Each structure stands twice: as C-alpha cells, then as structure tokens.
C-alpha cells in the first residue's frame, strides 16, 4: 500500500463518519416508506445489521476480502503493523461499505421477513458474499500483489462500489424477495394499494443518504488530493440529474410528481456515478445520472409484471443503477495496452454477469434451503397486525384501539368504551370513538325499544292487551309441537261475553270496550303463569291450559266465570251485569288446531243454548 499522509487518514476517517449517516438515511427512508405498524421493525433491522456486519466482517470478512482467507482482525498480519494506523482506517471504511450492502436488502424485504431470518442473512453477506466479491475487485487495495482480485487484473473498474456494494445488495434483495414472496394484498384479485406512512421522513432519509454518499465516493480513493472536489461534484451532478429525469418521467407517465419515484431517481443517479466517479467528466456524470433517473420507474414496471414485491424500490435503485453505472464505466476507463473500447466494455459486462450470477445463486440457494427448515417469513397474522408488535413487542395505542374495535365487532358488544392513555397520540381519536359508541348505543337502545314495541303491537290486541288471533294461533302451534314429544294433553277453551251486542246497543261502544277491558283483566289474573289467553274476536277469548287435565281446567274456568259474574261493572254510574259462556275441550297430540277450536266452539254453542253463564265441556 502506498504511503499516506496524515491528511489522507483524517479525510478517510471523516468520510467513514459520513458513511454512518447512510445507516441513518436508510432507517428514515425505510421507516417512512413502510406502514406505521412496521416502522420500528425496519429501524431495528438497520441497527442490528450494522452490529452483525461490523463484528462478522471484523472476525472473518475483512481477512477473506484482503488476505484471501477467513481471518480475524486479532490475528490478521496487516494488523500486526501497529505503526501504520491507516490499515485500521481501511477496515473501518470497508466495514461501513459492508453494512451498506446489507442494509439495501432490509428495505426490499420489509414488512414480511422475520427479524432473526434477516440477521442470519446479514451474517452470510458479511462473512461470505461481500468479502468474496470484494476480493475479486478490490483485493489489492492493501497493495499485496498476490491478493489482487482476478476481475481487477482483467481491468474491471468499480471505483466506489456500484457493483461491490450496490449491485451485490440488489442481487441479494432480488433473491430474498423471490424466496419470501410479496406482501399480503400486494398482487392478485384483492390488490390493496400500500401507502407509505411518512413521505417527509423518507425524504429526510434521502438527504441523509446523500450526505453519506459524499463520504462514499469522496473517500474511495483513500486520499485527499486535487481530484477529490471533482469527485464530490460528480456525485452531486449524478444525484440531481437523476432527480430531474425522474421528475420528467413521472410527469409524462403519471401527470404528477410521484414522491417515491422522484426520490428513487435521485438515489439511482448517485448509484450510477459511484462506479466511475474517479474517471468521468462533469458532462459524463450529467448523462449517466439522467439515464439512471429513468431506471426506477422502468424497473418497477418489470417487477410489477412478474409480481415481484420490493417494498421501497431497492432493486430498481441499487441493482439497476449499479449495473448501469458499472457498464457505462467501460466507455471512460483508461485502456490497457492492446485493449480496445469493446474489450473494456466486455470486461465490465463479464464482471456484471459473474458477480450477479455468484451473488444471486449463492443468496437464493442459502435462503431457499434455510426456508425449508426455518421459515423466513412471518405468519399471516403477524403481517396483518404488524412486525412492531410481533417481532419487538412494541405496544402502540393505536393498535390497542384497533384490537378493542376488533373484539367489539366479534362480540357485538359496543357498550364498553375504549381506554387509551390520555397522553398518547390516539387519545383524541379514542375519545371521538367513545362518543360515537355512546351515540350508537343510544340509537341502538331506541331501535330495540321501538322493535320491542312493534313486536308487542304486532302480537297484541290493542284494546285488551291480550294476544291477538295470529299470536295466539302461534302459541297453539308451538303447543302442538310440544305435545308431539310429550305424553300429556292440554286444554283449550273459548270464552264468549253474554249479550255483548245488547251492551253496545244500550250503552254504546265505549261501554262495550270497557267491558272487554274488565273481562280481559280478570282472565289474566285468573289463569296460571304457564297458561295463555288471547282475544280472537270482538267478544270472544281463547285460553290454553298447557299440559293440564280437563277437570283442573274446568275448575279454573268455573272460578273465572264466577269472578266475572260477581265483579260489578259500572258505567256512568250504572251497574251492568256481565257474564260469560265457556266451551272447553281437550287438546291432544294427534289433534289439529282447527279441529280443537271447532270442538271448543261447539261446546260454547251448547253453553249459549243452555241459558248462558256456564262452562260446557265437549264430550
């Protein structure tokens, strides 16, 4: 490795610090792009993959990448050179590159991949996939000629990771989403549009990523020299030109500026200049960025066609942008002796294909095999409720409110109010919901009372309050069904008011109505709890004595007849004599209702013929 000045070490350390902003940027971008029920999960994945990738890259990956074998930083020979601190700087810088490659995957698999499964994938990338590809292209970074990667020896050019970081992350993301499948409701007949939870937060993430990109490209030469400002300017032009072309594409296709599409256009522009930022001019960066800005929209159409679900557009940005940035570098790379421009492009294409084949096959195979023994996707219930709760136990007041609503829907009990912390963001919503519940309960009670009243009116005689003819017939039908199962019999009788027409004619219909009411009250008081009485005609009543012997029924009816006759009926200070004639018959299991009523009516006819005011049994 060449001699480095203190300013170089300071500069690369500074750029390494900027790279940490990329983790913050990815966290904000993903947290805003997914639904609120999963935002904690994506942030936790960004925290965890930084930890996993850093440790494993330190223990295994860095040695494999630059020494060609798995070695720990505790034993690797370059770290025995304690006098050259720049080795540590290189490790820190490359460790952040490794973390970035893994974090790209996080957004693509968001909202349905298990947290532990993602950490397993991060360990595989940090220990195997990233170091191997890095060795092929950047293996000679520490000036150990024996370890120069075979792609680097061919003349493959990747300045700051268009292939090593971005394409690698994109290929792994593609393999992962193919294994775990799309989110629920993303495709199919019941497709639901999945809206981001906070586009402003995602836009903040893009700006933080942009800051990190300046360290990404600015520090990749591992020195501060006269070329560094140009590299930073090229990075900026690539990003802004990507935004510009994405804006144009969005207006042409959708007639409006789609926020995620425009942001991804800017990121794709940054990715595309990453591979050749050290060898291109400003106008080259403008052209590369303009083309790259179109890639997210076009690539997303391809993914949708094949029903491949990338939650935030990581594959269109990093894979498509990385391939474009790597390929176009072949037009500008310095030619080797006896090498044509076609040769340079061919070498870039070979690198793209070999890296893509290795990374995709390796990632897909490992994930596919792992998925057979350890399911990488969360359950359907977890996906519906959200990974914040199922993966991290985060209690959200809004979710608790939704669960309360769900339980009420299942139980049908809307009397219980929702209880939410008064200091939470959901308190006002819960308060309004409780007011809706209170109003709903009030209206429901009113409807129930109105329904009961309507049902009562439909079954009752409006004058006497007794069962009407239809309701009493239903009682008889129910009794017949009961008798079909029992060995007992019941008794049915018809009660007729004697000389009722004379009362109406002599004293008026008001007197007749009052007579009906008085007799109805006496009938209700005189029968037992399990018996039924109804008014089936003008002055006719019917009584059902359920599961009662005929003699017992006659005994009760005689008391009723006597009570009616002995109870004075006074109308306008005039005493009017009331009496009733009663026909009685048994109601057996084989009897029809009509035959039973005919027998009772025949017995009533005999009672009227025999001077009335008596109880006659049908024999």
pLDDT score recorded for residue 298: 97
Does residue 548 or residue 241 have the better pLDDT? 241
Count other Cβ atoms within 10 Å, centred on residue 305: 8
pLDDT digits (tens, 9 = 90+) for 95-148: 999 999 999 999 999 999 999 999 999 999 999 999 999 999 998 776 555 558
The pLDDT of residue 10 is 92
Which sequence positions are flagged as catalytic? 539
Query: Concatenated DSSP letters for 263-323?
Result: HHHHHHHHHHHHTTTTT--HHHHHHHHHHHHHHHHHHHHHHHHTT---SS-HIIIIIIHHH
pLDDT band per the 50, 70, 90 thresholds, residue 289: very high
Predicted confidence at residue 407, as pLDDT, reads: 77
Q: How far is CA 173 from CA 104, 119, 312, 596, in A?
A: 7, 14, 11, 82
Among residues 63, 62, 44, the alpha carbon closest in space to that of 53 is found at 62
- How far, in Å, CA of 302 to CA of 320, rounded? 11
Q: Please provide residue 445's backbone torsions phi and psi, each rounded to the nearest 5 degrees.
A: -65, -40
The answer to whether the beta carbons of residues 56 and 126 sit under 8 Å apart is yes
In whole angstroms, give the CA distance from residue 404 to residue 536: 50
- CB-CB contact of 615 with 558 (8 Å): yes
Write out the DSSP string of 76-133.
-GGGG-TT-THHHHHHHHHHHHHHHHHHHHHHHTTTTB-HHHHHHHHHHIIIIIHHHH
Angstrom distance (rounded) from CA 315 to CA 303 = 9
Q: What is the mean pLDDT of the chain?
A: 89
Residues 55 and 73: their CA atoms lie apart, in Å, by 10
253 neighbors 301 (Cβ within 8 angstroms) = no
- Whether 212 has a pLDDT exceeding 90, the answer reads yes
Q: pTM to 2 decimals?
A: 0.71
Of 1-15, 44-58, 457-471, least confident by mean pLDDT is: 1-15
Q: How does residue 537 score in pLDDT terms, banded at 50, 70 and 90?
A: confident
Six-digit token string for 192 = 């639901």
């Amino acid at each position: 490795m060449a001699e480095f000045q203190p300013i170089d070490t300071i500069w690369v350390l500074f750029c390494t610090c900027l790279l940490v902003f990329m983790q913050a940027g990815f966290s904000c971008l993903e947290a805003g792009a997914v639904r609120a029920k999963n935002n904690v999960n994506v942030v936790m994945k960004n925290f965890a993959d930084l930890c996993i990738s850093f440790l494993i890259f330190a223990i295994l990956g860095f040695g494999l990448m630059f020494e060609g074998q798995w070695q720990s930083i505790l034993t690797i020979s370059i770290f025995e050179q304690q006098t050259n601190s720049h080795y540590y700087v290189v490790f820190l810088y490359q460790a952040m590159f490794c973390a970035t490659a893994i974090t790209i995957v996080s957004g693509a698999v968001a909202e349905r991949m298990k947290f532990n499964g993602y950490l397993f994938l991060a360990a595989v990338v940090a220990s195997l996939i990233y170091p191997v590809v890095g060795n092929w292209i950047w293996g000679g970074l520490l000036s150990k000629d024996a370890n120069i990667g075979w792609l680097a020896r061919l003349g493959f050019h990747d300045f700051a990771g268009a292939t090593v970081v971005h394409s690698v992350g994109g290929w792994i993301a593609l393999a992962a989403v193919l294994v775990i499948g799309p989110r629920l409701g993303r495709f199919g007949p019941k497709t639901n549009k999945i809206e981001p939870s906070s586009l402003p937060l995602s836009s903040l993430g893009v700006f933080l990523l942009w800051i990190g990109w300046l360290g990404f490209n600015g520090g990749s030469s591992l020195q501060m020299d006269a070329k560094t400002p140009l590299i930073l300017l090229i990075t900026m032009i690539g990003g802004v030109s990507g935004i510009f072309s994405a804006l144009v594409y969005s207006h042409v296709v959708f007639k409006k500026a789609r926020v995620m599409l425009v942001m991804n256009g800017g990121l794709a522009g940054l990715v595309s200049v990453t591979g050749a930022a050290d060898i291109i001019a400003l106008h080259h960066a403008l052209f590369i960025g303009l083309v790259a800005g179109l890639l997210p929209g076009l690539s997303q159409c391809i993914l949708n066609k094949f029903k491949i679900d990338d939650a935030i557009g990581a594959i269109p940005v990093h894979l498509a942008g990385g391939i474009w940035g790597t390929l176009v570098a072949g037009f500008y790379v310095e030619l080797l002796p006896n090498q044509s421009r076609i040769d340079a492009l061919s070498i870039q294409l070979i690198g793209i294909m070999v890296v893509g084949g290795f990374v995709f096959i390796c990632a897909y195979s490992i994930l596919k095999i792992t998925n057979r023994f350890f399911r990488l996707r969360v359950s359907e219930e977890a996906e519906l409720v959200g990974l914040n709760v199922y993966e991290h136990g985060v209690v959200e007041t809004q979710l608790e409110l939704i669960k309360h609503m769900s339980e009420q829907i299942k139980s049908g009990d809307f009397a219980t109010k929702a209880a939410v912390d008064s200091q939470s963001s959901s308190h006002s919503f819960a308060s309004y919901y409780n007011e809706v519940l209170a109003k709903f309960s009030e209206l429901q009670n009113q409807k129930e009372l109105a329904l009961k009243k309507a049902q009562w009116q439909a079954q009752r005689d409006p004058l006497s309050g007794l069962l009407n003819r239809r309701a009493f017939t239903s009682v008889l039908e129910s009794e017949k069904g009961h008798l079909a199962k029992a060995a007992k019999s019941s008794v049915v009788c018809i009660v007729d008011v004697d000389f009722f027409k004379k009362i109406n004619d002599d004293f008026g219909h008001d007197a007749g109505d009052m007579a009906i009411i008085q007799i109805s009250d006496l009938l209700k008081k005189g029968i037992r709890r399990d018996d039924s009485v109804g008014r089936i005609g003008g002055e006719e009543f019917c009584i059902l004595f359920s599961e009662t012997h005929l003699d017992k029924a006659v005994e009760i009816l005689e008391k009723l007849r006597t009570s009616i006759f002995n109870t004075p009926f006074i109308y306008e200070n005039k005493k009017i004599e009331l009496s009733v004639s009663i026909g009685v018959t048994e109601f057996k299991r084989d009897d029809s209702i009509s035959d039973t009523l005919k027998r009772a009516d025949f017995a009533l006819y005999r009672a009227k013929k025999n001077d009335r005011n008596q109880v006659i049994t049908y024999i």
